[in-house]
Amino acid sequence: MRKGYFGDFGGRFAPELLMPPLLELEEAMDRIMTSAAFQEEFTNLLRHYVGRPTALYRCDNLSKELDFGLWLKREDLAHTGAHKINNTVGQALLAKHMGKTRLVAETGAGQHGVATATAAALLGLECIVYMGATDVVRQAHNVQRMELLGAQVRPVQSGSQTLKDAINAAMRHWIAKQADTHYCLGSAVGPHPFPLLVRELQSIIGREALEQFQSRTGKLPEQVVACVGGGSNAIGMFHAFVTHRQTALVGVEAAGEGSVDCFHSATLNKGTPGVLHGCKTKLLQTADGQIMPSHSLAPGLDYPGVGPEHAHLQAQGRAKYVSVTDSQALKAFLRLAKTEGILAALESSHALAHVLSLAQTLPVSTDVVVCLSGRGDKDLGIVREALRKG
């Protein structure tokens, strides 16, 4: 496999001005992240600060209704309420070891911004977060959290004013301030080495889930399911299971309103290969290569690209990717809340919605593990408005 590539996808398509910090980051990953001192410090932070391992919970009530076993890997129980903290604590620690004093980040749903601000506060780093103006309104709760943690939140007014545009703005900032700044990229996208870096930091999710499930049941799950926007929680969940071919890997994208001509974020299902934000992957684009608008009720899935390793897993046939509509995700959100007493993020609710659609179709002995990537507190305003509209 070519360095920085996953099959035909990945690479480092970056302007010349970005090459020095990308090469510096790659060298730091090889030299610093592999050291015993870094690994010990990172492991201690994950255990004593982040709260790992997170629980693997069997949904007994829903399992009875579905007629198969439904399990949740509870990333919503990690500090700050989502899987994003695994990545930001790791990257912030690496940045500090590199001598950087500032973090710049992008965020869509706001959870990565909160997690970056949290890690920056913990490790004494300055933090600037770019967020699409649309998402600033949709996720006002998380904007307040970031500011209380000491971060400066900068709304992005260009383009669709969502995650894609926030990434553009953060990359421009990094070019100008690379000497003392690390770009804490939130998903498994971007130029090499970011997809690899984020996967390595998030792979703790799948390693824990595999060990916990085998310890509890003595076998492997038949399916592992996760939502996919950029795809960091999914690649973190999938990675430990990739070599276990008896476990099916299922990624769930956002189908938007579900009509033929609607905006959506089903990149792997409806996209085509192209280059965005420094890597070759699958994109939502026109015939002449112009990026199309994306949409999801879940802000964290509202992205017209996807991590290159997901594109590779799909091309290999190792993972299957399906899509779920806004209304299906909302129904899954409500059903989990009323049946198990858990408020899931709308992103995670897409994965859950797909599994709920399998009711009565799988053998009773089937076990499905869903990555519950975050909690739903941040989405209560969106849910309230969606229910109001009916």
Each residue of 143-186: pLDDT tens digit?
A: 999 999 999 999 999 888 888 899 899 999 999 999 999 999 99
d(CA 103, CA 123): 11
> Which residues are catalytically annotated?
59, 83
- The pLDDT, as a whole number, for residue 1 is 66
DSSP codes, 24-87? HHHHHIIIIITSHHHHHHHHHHIIIII-PSPPEEE-HHHHHHHTSEEEEEEGGGSGGGBTHHHH
Q: What is the pLDDT of residue 108?
A: 83
**Any bridge partners for residue 285, and if so which?**
291
HSE (CB half, 13 Å, CA atoms) of 265? 31
pLDDT per residue over 116-151, tens digit each? 999 999 999 999 999 999 989 988 989 999 999 999
> Which CATH number applies to 13-46+84-198?
3.40.50.1100
Confidence at residue 187, expressed as pLDDT on a 0 to 100 scale? 95
pTM of the complete model: 0.96
**What is d(CA 112, CA 145) in angstroms, rounded to the nearest whole number?**
11
Same fold, 13-46+84-198 and 51-81+203-389: yes
Per-residue pLDDT averaged across 219-248, rounded?
98
* pLDDT, position 127: 98
**Pairing mode of beta strands 102-107, 69-74:** unpaired
Per-domain residue ranges of the chain: 13-46+84-198, 51-81+203-389
What DSSP line would sit under 24-37, residue for residue? Answer: HHHHHIIIIITSHH
Residue for token digits 């391992």?
A: 53
Q: How far apart are CA 187 and CA 277, in angstroms?
A: 12
**Domain 51-81+203-389 is of which CATH architecture?**
3-Layer(aba) Sandwich (3.40)
Q: Give the pLDDT score at 72.
A: 99
pLDDT score for 300: 86
State pLDDT tens for residues 330-351: 999 999 999 999 999 999 999 9
Examine the pLDDT at 222 and tell me if it is beyond 80. Answer: yes
pLDDT at 215: 98
The pLDDT tens digits of the residues spanning 235-255 come to 999 999 999 999 999 999 999
- In angstroms, the CA 23 to CA 382 distance is 40
User: pLDDT tens digits, residue range 285-341?
Assistant: 999 999 998 889 998 898 999 999 999 999 999 999 999 999 999 999 999 999 999
324 contact partners, CB below 8 Å, separation of at least 6: 252, 253, 254, 255, 332, 350, 351, 353, 354
pLDDT tens figures, 38-56? 999 999 999 999 999 999 9
- Taking residues 96-116, what's their average pLDDT? 94
What is the rounded distance in angstroms from the CA atom of residue 26 to the CA atom of residue 22?
A: 6
| pLDDT reading at 203 higher than 90 | yes
Of 218-227, 266-275, 369-378, 381-390, where does mean pLDDT reach its minimum?
Answer: 381-390
pLDDT digits (tens, 9 = 90+) for 18-38: 999 999 999 999 999 999 999
